[in-house]
Amino acid sequence: MSRKIAAAAIAAVVGLAVGVGLGALLFSSSSTTSTTTTTVDPKPVSLPASLAGFRDITDVIAARSPQSAAVQRQLAHQAAVSAATDAAYRKAFGGAGVAYRQYSDSRLEKLPYVIAVRAPTPALTLGPVISASYLGLATPEREVRTVGAVSCQILWSPPTVAGHTPPSSSEHIVGCQRSTGGLTVFTGGGSFAGPADLQEIVDLTNAAWSAASSS
């Protein structure tokens, strides 16, 4: 692959990553309420460059094509997204300490984000609880799955009719959160589907919570 093609491919992937990161704002805002009457901690919080088998996306990109001007522009853009995300969450949570990182696997295929906030968050809810049996489906179109201390939003797409087993590829993990001990961690990202990927992002959420709580 030529340097120009590689740079274009990386730019396209990072564009997707940024979209996923901004989607984090939409995901978490649907599962939180005002914290104006809740004590929050303004102490800075940090997340490591490597976490649960993933690395900061800027490190992954730089390792693939360190001399590309297009990559350098994307690195600057990632820094801007990080600053904007930190500011948005700090405002939403009444001045609580916030940290954000976009991570990636080595192939830029899985692009999870992590947002840590030093404030409690209500349990994850998704509006009306869907009755799968009434709709004649094997599973609800969307649901909350709890694995230990982590709750995740699951989207089943395409839906499977009742009496059939849904393929794992239709089980999309939209995002997860863990809120214990006055610290909330939000995670999510594209290309996570099926039980193995659910466990992977649950592990990422727990690892991020542990890292942030000790920072």
pLDDT digits 0-9 by tens, 47-83 = 999 999 999 998 888 888 777 786 788 789 888 989 9
More confident: 136 or 66: 136
Taking the whole predicted model, whether its pTM rises above 0.85 is answered as no
Q: Over 50: is that where the pLDDT of 9 sits? A: no
Residue 38's pLDDT is 57
Distance CA 13, CA 31 (A): 27
Mean pLDDT of the chain: 85
pLDDT per residue as tens digits for the range 16-53: 444 444 444 434 444 444 444 457 899 999 999 999 99
Distance CA 168, CA 40 (A): 39
Distance CA 77, CA 47 (A): 19
Q: Over 90: is that where the pLDDT of 97 sits? A: yes
Token representation of residue 159: 């839906």
Q: Over 90: is that where the pLDDT of 144 sits? A: yes
Distance CA 6, CA 65 (A): 8
Distance CA 77, CA 90 (A): 20
